[in-house]
């Protein structure tokens, strides 16, 4: 994998993480949070898809490495939603 392919891979992860974070209700975080969220979402989403026997679709191939876009968005949204359950609520 070349450096340019790695940057494209990070860009795809950032976009997927940002979309999943917005769906899940994440209001804070920047580019690095979105990248991390995209990678965690890809791992979580792919694991859940395999567990449920669902197919891989909309997979982007970058330099011989596959990135499951749909499962990354779904996995990151689920991850943010679960993290939101443990966040303390502000008192009014």
Q: What is the pLDDT of residue 29?
A: 79
Residue 21 and residue 76 in contact, taking contact as beta carbons nearer than 8 Å: yes
User: What are the boundaries of each domain within the chain?
Assistant: 3-83
pLDDT at 85 over 80: yes
Cα angle at 68 between 41 and 38, to 5 degrees?
30
Give pLDDT tens digits for 2-51.
Answer: 899 888 888 989 999 999 989 988 877 788 999 999 999 999 999 999 99
From start to end of the chain, where are the E strands? 59-62, 65-68
Locate 78 and state its tokens: 């689920």
| pLDDT value for 70 | 93
């Amino acid at each position: 994998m070349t450096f340019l392919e790695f940057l494209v891979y990070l860009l795809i992860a950032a976009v997927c993480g940002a979309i999943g974070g917005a769906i899940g209700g994440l209001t804070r975080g920047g580019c690095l949070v979105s990248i991390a969220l995209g990678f965690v979402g890809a791992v979580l989403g792919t694991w859940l898809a395999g567990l449920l026997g669902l197919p891989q679709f909309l997979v982007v191939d970058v330099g011989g490495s596959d990135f499951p876009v749909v499962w990354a968005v779904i996995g990151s949204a689920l991850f943010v939603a679960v993290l939101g359950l443990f966040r303390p609520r502000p008192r009014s």
